[in-house]
Structure 1
Amino acid sequence: MKLKPITSSNSRRDFIKKSGLAATGFYIVPRHVLGGPGFIPPSDKLLIAGIGVGGKGESDLLSFYETGKAEIAYLCDVDDRLAAASVKRFSKAKYYKDYRELYDNEAKNFDAVCVSTPDHNHAVQAMGAMQRGKHVYVQKPLTHDIYEARKLTEAAKEYRVVTQMGNQGASGDGVRRMKEWYEAGVIGDVNEVYVWTNRPVWPQGISWPEKTSVIPAELDWDLWLGTAPYKDYVDGLVPFNWRGWWEYGTGALGDMGCHLVEPAFNVLELKYPHEVECSVGSIYVDEFQRGYFPESCPPSSHVIMRFAGKKKSSSDIKLHWMDGGIKPMRPDELGSEETFGDGGNGTLIIGTKGKMMCGTYGLNPRLLPTSRTNEVIVSEKYPRVKDGMNGHYAQWVEAAIAGYKEKTLSSPFEIAGPLTETLLIANLAIRGYDIQKTRTNSNGKTQIYYPGRDIKMIWDAENLKVTNFEEANQFVKRDYREGYSL
């Protein structure tokens, strides 16, 4: 059963302003009387509940709080160790371990939710908030599964809530400058893009540890697993190395793709790829045999996605994703001592009349040769976000206070959803690469083969399925553990 959303007309703030409290002698005093110019009374602040409040979650909440327009009202985390700093910093916030109890008990008492948990729990936590009419900020990648990304994108529109994904580079000046160069015709038609990262910097391409460990007293392991199947606790998974396991993370693509693919996605106005193929690196378990570890993301990969061309690209746009230290060849126009991208990561966009590149988050955009960067002058067409990347947080807070569709956002789910789907389609090819089957050869012996390794998968975006390799579709949508659903 879907819960009726709390719209802007019956929100907590509007209730305070429109209720009959004035009849009892209570009046809302103008803010300039209370605190001078710029003073924001508590009734005009966004009340935020944080889910996953350690590490990146802590820094997200601090960034919201420092806008001066938000209060951190509730904290929720399954691990008291990780939550400790936020609990100390936001000492007035009530603390929960289970987000479902937080929603059931306190939904009337906050306006918005920040989700900064592992990937596999993003969708259920964000959907539960949106169904209750709460604005949501969700860390990248938006979801773990393609299906989840599509459903969250639809839900944001259905429930009329203000949304933002945590890819702060979307609010930076760099991507706007690159878009202005492109639309001014500086690099001509674009048909090829390269994106690369030095991730993973956590274990991948390995077998699941055989040795189980004692669950730390501060950690609710069952709640941490959330939507995923139950497994015994192992050391080293929390708080970070879960990224390399398919049941919880989305590998290097999930970690860095939203930061690195976003510039090309934005500049070229991409939507969904229609074809995807890949190759992956392997780890040798000994000198004669390669490892086969389907539970774990591979140590490196090269994925090629094709998108329908738009505007200045008359034919398909081919986007290469490379991780695990794999890089494209250095452009001839780049000096021998000049940094390619930002060293470990980068985006290179190749046009018929020139090339441009940037680092992580779209930082340091440059035309090639780099001397052109200051020589080519184009007008500033797209408004900049105040404080650039750091303004990503204030942008969402202010938009949530203003209400649905009242302000422009850099990465609302209508943009972040298709971007996330694109990255997860790439992961679909990577996971399909390791699908193992058996057949009987001409000698009557059983032979292992991998049908996903030598094909180009055709993607039907409307129906969310691979049309020419059915086995890969098992990864489009997971089955959740009992107690969790969208």
Structure 2
Amino acid sequence: MSKKLFKSRRNFIKNTAMGAAGFMIVPRNVLGKGYIAPSDKLIIAGVGAGGKGRSDIANFYKSGKAEIGFLCDVDDRMAEESRKNFPKAKYYKDWRELFDKEAKSFDAVSVSTPDHTHAVVAMAAMRRKKHVYVQKPLTHDIYEARVLTEAAEKYKVVTQMGNQGASGDGVRQLVEWYDAGIIGDVHSVYIFTNRPIWPQGIPWPTEKPAVPAGLDWDLWLGTAPQKDYVDGLIPGSWRGWWDYGTGALGDLGCHLMEAPFRVLGLQYALDVQASVTSVFTAFGKRGYFPDSFPPSAHATLTFPKTNKTKGEVIMHWMDGGIKPERPAELGANEVFGDGNSGILFVGTKGKMMASEYAANPRLLPLKRNEEVKVPKTIKRVPGSADGHYAQWVEGCIAGYGNMELSAPFSKSGPLTEAILMANLGIRAADTPKPRANGRGNDYPGANMKLLWDYKNMKVTNLDEVNQFVKREYRKGWTLDF
């Protein structure tokens, strides 16, 4: 290389880095195919910089192979700590402005916003050929999960959902036990959690306080219907409202249902039925609060036979303190799951269980864990659950199709669809229909098994619930594919 050419390239790198991000890091895409950035680090834009977003961003940086080039949050209060931790990262409130102005200056996007805005942010990033990491659940609606999964393949970007347990040792141990035939053929799975730990089964607040300084309320609403600001939604209670969150299933379903999906090779549900805990008014009548999830629920999903099962699999989801019958093989003082959450596999030759994130897998009775020795056949992710972040960073650096990840959209998309299918059942069970005689209401959805047409994303025997498969966005917001 001539001295003149070397000097020219060196000046280009220096000027681009200083002009675009204010520090000496060049996004890999700026140098073009075949070049490696001088830092050899992934430049990330973090959309959602507070709460879970704060820890996500910190974990990407901790991998040692990423730089946080940009931060974005609709709420300056939530972003404060991340801005202190990464003072060189340029800050935006509107992710659309960030993408329009800075797309050439970053390689990847982390999406850690409330559920109802996951899809629009992730899709906009993928259209710009940016790799994406999206917090669980992948999306708010089934339709969104389907199109994000398709978009990842279309745009050839590296994707990962934020269910860290997918990279943990626990789920791999469960797969090895099952594949070795230790518990026979699984036909039933029971999952339980103490969530929600936020208010549910309540009416929408009537007070109309002033919007706090630093919060762009309209931008926080995003795709959701226009409503006045209310206290208590931020930072985490939005999970209990249908317009923004996906309830207990959205919060922990991806952490608890991922193991059965991996162990049994599940893909999509055939049907769902649900029951909910009723809320009664002072007059003894069942209350109906359409904006909010019920206090607790039990949803039962049927999955078709796979190449790892001999027949259909019945999966029970229980939240709000509901638990399955305690396994007879479990001693009186032995903990079921982790006490708050758990997964129980019931097979023809035995049972196995695990805690949240599929951690601490155990065969039942517990003495079997000392007797059974199965070789490790599945490669572990360095750092286990914490390695979930580093794995995505390394996958982005390697490029699309060059590295296997634990939770790409091809896996986490169908998982998310099943979780949201269970929510359809819960919503149907909690929705009243006035009786013809005008005396009270019936709850037809509570007595029905919703039949699911996976290909067409449609419930075939209760059309009223299909409006929630693909919700209507507020004017000005679209999910362009």
TM-score by length of 2: 0.92
Q: After superposition, what is the alpha-carbon deviation per residue over 1:199-250, rounded to whole angstroms, capped at 9, x for unaligned? A: 0000000000111111001111000000001100111111110000000000
Unaligned 5+ runs, structure 2: 14-35
> Among residues 41, 47, 59, which one is paired with 1:63 in the alignment?
59
The residue that corresponds to 1:476 in the other structure is 469
Q: After superposition, what is the alpha-carbon deviation per residue over 1:139-163, rounded to whole angstroms, capped at 9, x for unaligned? A: 0000000000000000000000000
Q: Residues of 2 paired with 1:283 and 1:42: CA distance?
A: 60
Unaligned 5+ runs, structure 1: 1-16, 30-39
* 1:310 positional shift: 2.1
Choose 476-485 or 306-315, whichever is displaced more.
306-315
> For 1:113, what is the secondary structure of its paired residue?
strand
- 1:306 and 2:302 matched: yes
Q: Residues of 1 paired with 2:329 and 2:352: CA distance?
A: 10
Q: Residues of 1 paired with 2:413 and 2:5: CA distance?
A: 41
Q: Residues of 2 paired with 1:347 and 1:28: CA distance?
A: 55
Q: Residues of 1 paired with 2:143 and 2:159: CA distance?
A: 18
> Among residues 393, 409, 414, which one is paired with 1:413 in the alignment?
409
Indicate if the aligned counterparts of 1:193 and 1:318 stay in contact, CA closer than 8 A.
yes
The residue that corresponds to 1:161 in the other structure is 157
> Among residues 455, 460, 466, which one is paired with 2:453 in the alignment?
460
Q: Residues of 2 paired with 1:217 and 1:25: CA distance?
A: 45
Matched AA of 1:469: L
Matched AA of 1:453: A
Indicate if the aligned counterparts of 1:440 and 1:447 stay in contact, CA closer than 8 A.
no
The residue that corresponds to 1:278 in the other structure is 274
Corresponding pairs, count: 455
Indicate if the aligned counterparts of 2:265 and 2:308 stay in contact, CA closer than 8 A.
no
Cα 1:27–1:87, aligned 2, differ >3 Å: closer, same or farther? Answer: closer
Q: Residues of 1 paired with 2:428 and 2:467: CA distance?
A: 9
The residue that corresponds to 1:6 in the other structure is none
Matched AA of 1:120: H
> For 1:453, what is the secondary structure of its paired residue?
helix
Indicate if the aligned counterparts of 2:276 and 2:430 stay in contact, CA closer than 8 A.
no
> Among residues 154, 175, 181, which one is paired with 1:179 in the alignment?
175
Q: Residues of 1 paired with 2:160 and 2:12: CA distance?
A: 31
- 1:262 and 2:246 matched: no
- 1:24 and 2:8 matched: yes
The residue that corresponds to 1:363 in the other structure is 359
Matched AA of 2:253: G
TM-score by length of 1: 0.91
Q: Residues of 1 paired with 2:38 and 2:8: CA distance?
A: 20
Cα 1:27–1:440, aligned 2, differ >3 Å: closer, same or farther? Answer: closer
Indicate if the aligned counterparts of 1:273 and 1:306 stay in contact, CA closer than 8 A.
yes
- 1:128 and 2:121 matched: no
Q: Residues of 1 paired with 2:361 and 2:221: CA distance?
A: 40
- 1:429 and 2:413 matched: no
The residue that corresponds to 1:208 in the other structure is 204
Indicate if the aligned counterparts of 1:169 and 1:362 stay in contact, CA closer than 8 A.
yes
Matched AA of 2:410: E
Choose 294-303 or 311-320, whichever is displaced more.
311-320
Cα 1:436–1:24, aligned 2, differ >3 Å: closer, same or farther? Answer: same
Indicate if the aligned counterparts of 1:74 and 1:93 stay in contact, CA closer than 8 A.
yes
Q: CA RMSD in A?
A: 1.7
The residue that corresponds to 2:78 in the other structure is 82
The residue that corresponds to 1:3 in the other structure is none
Q: After superposition, what is the alpha-carbon deviation per residue over 1:117-160, rounded to whole angstroms, capped at 9, x for unaligned? A: 00000000000000000000000000000000000000000000
